Structure 1
């Protein structure tokens, strides 16, 4: 049996994105590839703004190694989307996020239109081999774990 959709209150961080006309597909709702774009943007904005990843010239980069998404309800342009995030697993060199996408404005009890998992592995920029999270990054990721939700945007 499929679990029920998560609620906004299940997440720690959130950010609102504006949908674009081009995000709609032939069926009149946001295309699944756009959902992944919203999630990727929210996670990477956190990694840049809060964890201090320098995507242009830093010694480390975070590569996506796995994603997956369950869809519960359609969202269509011009509806804004709230992407809510939390870290659910923090390994030596990997981090797994859970993301919920909600129609905006969203209240704590609202259920997700879609839910996803998103896993990064931290690697050396040149060698592309996994490395342990430096303290600054690990501390930022740890701050995104837990039950308490804030309304502070991720970036």
Structure 2
């Protein structure tokens, strides 16, 4: 009986000794440079490993493959920021937690001419701008001139090669 008790006590101590507290992985504050097409210096064309190394706090990652929805990517759902690495673009959502080089989210349609110029392509609910690095796409909450930017995407690809996930 003493042996059994000693064995159980040792097993209990071993399992408690193996349990450790681990600190959350801290992420730097996100800074989206809209005019340069980067997030803290990383471009949408960076690899998954480069993104994971710079931002270890990602909430999920999908390896690039033909079967993966949208081709795969690195996602920061708590920050509302998404890197679609196979398609080489970044999406900044309406609840983005971070800073942008110029205010985009929540701004009115038509108020971007002074910084972005004329859109290359227009639709009811979005506009695409040709940028030095590729393409910037602004999505509006309603069709027409009164819409406000709900979210935006930018890519290192031109508008003819851009393939956004829907």
TM score, norm. by length of structure 2: 0.26
Q: Highest Rg: 1 or 2? A: 2
Higher-strand-fraction structure: 1
Give the TM-score normalised by the residue count of structure 1: 0.27
